[in-house]
Structure 1
Amino acid sequence: MTESERYEVTPSPFPARTRTASGTINGVETTATAMYFADKIMVTITQSGRLAHWIHVPLDTESPAAEAAVNRSGTIIYDDEDIPSSDLLPMSHLTATTILGGTMPEMDTLGQLCATQIASAIVTKDPRERRMVVVGLGLDKSVIDVRMGGREGYTEVVGLVLGVL
């Protein structure tokens, strides 16, 4: 087998399709960017130029158990189209894994929730999407601190990201 036969090359235009949006969340300038590569969708959310936590969510699941979703009544659903689009909770069959950073448990939990929420939004928009979702975060602690508007801050972060997907 020759070197060129070992790898499948997928031609894709460069630069990758990119969308960016900025806003102020909890008084901090926040930028969300989505870049669509041939094999991955990369989303970054930065505040104050920070980017310290990376998470990935595979959308290409092989096993039927991994593809199944469970609704609130406990019934297994095998077709993502049966999942209500108005449901703001992340899809239960998507699993986020921290690949870099995540040393603070609160921020790690928030990051995984955020990454799963983003992946859910991508799958809701296009149920056939199978690229890996990679999320880079650099959020201020105010996003998780309820006393500093954490709940509203998280909602605003997700809203900003939805605007670039």
Structure 2
Amino acid sequence: MAGAESEYTVTLSPFPASTRTASASIKGTETTATTVQFTDKILITVTQNGRLAHWVHVPLDVSATDNPLSSNPYLDQDDDLPPSDLLPMHHLTATTILGGTIPELEVLGQTLATQIASAVLTKNSSEKRMVVLGMGLERNMSGREEFSELMGLVLEVL
């Protein structure tokens, strides 16, 4: 079309995207965690045996109007208690976007994603990018000890 100009904004970003990878043996299974920092998303994968079967996302940019829990005084933490870094932030919600057909692994994935998103916000409270977590875990990874080891591995790559 002659004379038609489109307005758009170009956001400069480093290329290639920043990537970090770490591996560990968890319950005898080689596990690899990778983080890719895009300008609009933080992509994290946790794989065992090269699998990716369950994808979850957690928006970090939650406005007060989108979050009914933020305005409920009965659900706020008791101000007399110190905040716990072990608990995920109450306003973060993990949503399965692909996979998640094994119930115990779906719960693990959503809990892991919420905990990772909380760690991202603890590290940088102004972070607004969405956290996307892809997992391919064995069924025996749903225990408390395995969760701690998975979380520790992911923290190495954040």
Same fold (TM over 0.5): yes
Please state whether the residue corresponding to 2:157 is helix, strand or coil. Answer: coil
> In structure 2, what is the equivalent of residue 134 of structure 1?
132
SS of residue paired to 1:56 = strand
Equivalent residue number for residue 123 of structure 2: 125
Tell me the percent identity.
60
Query: Following TM superposition, by how much is the alpha carbon of 1:68 offset from its aligned partner in structure 2, in angstroms?
Result: 2.9
Kept in 2: contact 1:26–1:153 (CA 8 A): yes
| Equivalent position of 2:55 in the other structure | 54
Contact 2:70 2:76 in 1 (8 A): no
Instruction: Output the CA distance in 2 between the equivalents of 1:24 and 1:124.
Output: 27
Would the aligned equivalents of 1:59 and 1:130 in 2 still touch at CA under 8 Å? yes
Q: Is the 8 A contact 2:64 2:71 kept in 1?
A: no
Deviation at 1:94, TM superposition (A): 0.2
The two structures, once aligned, show a CA RMSD in angstroms of 2.6
Q: Deviations over 1:70-91 (max 9, x none)?
A: 89x84369xxxxx83x421111
For 1:163, what is the secondary structure of its paired residue? helix
1:35-71: CA deviation from partner (whole Å, max 9, x where unpaired):
1000000000001111111000000112256283989
- The residue number in structure 2 matching 1:68 is 70
Number of aligned pairs? 153
* 2:137 counterpart letter in structure 1: L
TM (norm. structure 2) is 0.87
Partner of 1:17: 18
Q: 1:118 to 1:3 in 2, by over 3 A?
A: farther
Query: How is 1:31-46 mapped onto 2 (pairs within 5 angstroms)?
Result: 31-46=32-47
Assess if the C-alpha contact under 8 Å between 1:69 and 1:91 holds in 2: no
SS at match of 2:146: helix
Distance, in Å, in 2 between the alignment partners of 1:114 and 1:3 is 46
Q: Which structure has more helix as a fraction of its residues? A: 1
Give the stretch that moved more between structures: 101-110 or 118-127: 101-110
Partner of 1:80: none
For the pair shown, the structure with the greater C-alpha radius of gyration is: 2
2:71, 2:24 → 1: CA distance?
Answer: 33
TM-score, with structure 1 as normaliser: 0.83
